[in-house]
Homo-oligomer: A and B are copies of this chain.
Amino acid sequence: MTTTTNELQTKGEAAKRASRELARASTAVKNRALLAVADALLDRADDVLRANGHDVQGGQEAGLSPAVIDRLTLSRGKIEGIAGDVRTVAGLPDPVGEMIDMRTLPNGLQVGRRRVPLGVIAAIFESRPNVTVDIASLSLKSGNACILRGGKEAIHSNRALAAVIREAIGAAGVPQEAVQLIENTDRALISEMLKMKQYIDLVVPRGGAELIRFVAENATMPVLTGGIGVCHTYVDKAADLAKAVPIVHNAKTRRYSICNALDTLLVHEQIAPQALPEIARAWSEAGVEMRCDERALRILTQAEVPGLNAKPAAPDDFGREFLALVAAVKVVDSLDDALEHIYTYGTGHSEAIITEDYSAAMRFLDEVDSAVVYVNASTQFTDGGQFGLGAEIIDSTQKTIARGPVGLREITTYKWIVFGNGQIRPA
């Protein structure tokens, strides 16, 4: 057995065992532990910042990009933010224990489902050390033990944060072993982890597309993925441009580096001559580059938009997640044409129609098979906080386990409980 396997085995087994105790912890105990974690993060901010300093220095020496260094770097302000997030989680409703469909059968058996934790959640993530606290607190609140495996560039920070969390929850009466940090940051270890279905009930990859794909393809246990979306907004011929232009603008520019941002704009040919120049004016001012199909480009060129930032789309611009101030733009012949485009190129994340036509709106809601489908609103609303889930673990583009924004309830399961008084089943 290699050292790697040894650490994984030991910590996996410890997490699984601790999950049995944590599953029975009351909401009061779990909340007390979470508040203790928030306090401890502030009390021990100096230790965490010192450890983080090592990582930042190491990252700079290793020549990591400024963007990665930025995600890696903690500050007292960021730690206060993280502690605040933990307090927010403490304040959320506890999904565990919820009773579903309890009923009495004709034979007197009382049967229902009780919401219970999954057991052990493993998270595999990259350079943001705040994910360590985030996953630990959401797991704890939902009664799940967790196994955290962050990137090697953040290992000192993650070690310091995990130590703070473990001590705080231990002192509050929750088993320390319910939070496990894998300290070996060898990449080969991820493959090993993905085989440990005896200890891990769900694995959540948080990071780039390559990591997510690797985990989805190699995990032997259920995977919850998300965070990747090619989002479409379709401006119908019956759109009200006073709504369409601000919505399209917001969907692209409010934040462009998140998964619910607009990637492709579809515009009905009858409204394109009015809509496209108006949208182009707003976008050009904000620095959005438009990659257009032939018809869209012709309309824009003829419209003489000041400062127009448009060029022909490459074939792979449709179906591409830009995460940048770039949008693909296409003129479509009809609603059917738009639906077919979304069916072909969409990733099932978030799509919107802008229309005043009731039947067109209803058809779009019915026929677009995405996690979130909007009428007359910005796709940037796709978010667990916005939708009232309190927290968001991920935006799922899966159809099973959970779809769309994933909150605490979605990282639990249920068991059937049956109260009898001697019932046997007739032949």
Question: B-contacting residues of A (Cβ < 8 Å)?
Answer: 20, 23-24, 103, 105, 109, 111, 113, 116, 118-119, 201-202, 217, 220, 222, 240, 242-243, 246-247, 249-251, 254, 343, 365-367, 369-378, 380-382, 386-388, 398-401, 403-405, 413-425, 427
Q: Name the B residues within 8 Å of A220 (CB-CB).
A: 217
Do A424 and B366 touch (CB < 8 A)?
no
Q: Which of A382, A414, A420 has the most CB of B within 10 A?
A: A420
A349 to chain B, nearest CB (A): 11
Do B387 and A254 touch (CB < 8 A)?
no
Q: Give Cα distance in the complex from A23 to B421, angstroms.
A: 43
Q: Which of A111, A366, A381 has the most CB of B within 10 A?
A: A381
| Chain B residue nearest to A419 in the complex (CB) | B375
A223 to chain B, nearest CB (A): 9
Do B217 and A421 touch (CB < 8 A)?
no
Q: Give Cα distance in the complex from A135 to B243, angstroms.
A: 46
Do B416 and A20 touch (CB < 8 A)?
no
Contact of A401 among B249, B401, B405, B421 (CB under 8 A): B401
Q: Name the B residues within 8 Å of A366 (CB-CB).
A: 24
Given contacts A116-B369, A365-B417, A403-B415, contact A377 B243 (CB under 8 A): no
By Cβ-Cβ distance, the 7 closest A-B pairs, closest first, are A377-B420, A250-B424, A243-B422, A376-B420, A372-B416, A399-B413, A380-B425
Q: Give Cα distance in the complex from A201 to B427, angstroms.
A: 36
| Binding site secondary structure of chain A | mixed
| Chain B residue nearest to A244 in the complex (CB) | B422
Do A381 and B425 touch (CB < 8 A)?
yes
Q: Give Cα distance in the complex from A385 to B220, angstroms.
A: 31
Interchain Cβ contacts under 8 Å between A and B, 14 examples: A24-B367, A111-B388, A118-B400, A247-B423, A369-B415, A373-B415, A373-B417, A374-B417, A376-B419, A377-B418, A377-B423, A378-B425, A381-B425, A400-B401
Do A427 and B254 touch (CB < 8 A)?
yes
Contact of A378 among B242, B381, B401, B423 (CB under 8 A): B423
Do A423 and B381 touch (CB < 8 A)?
yes
Contact of A416 among B119, B371, B380, B422 (CB under 8 A): B371
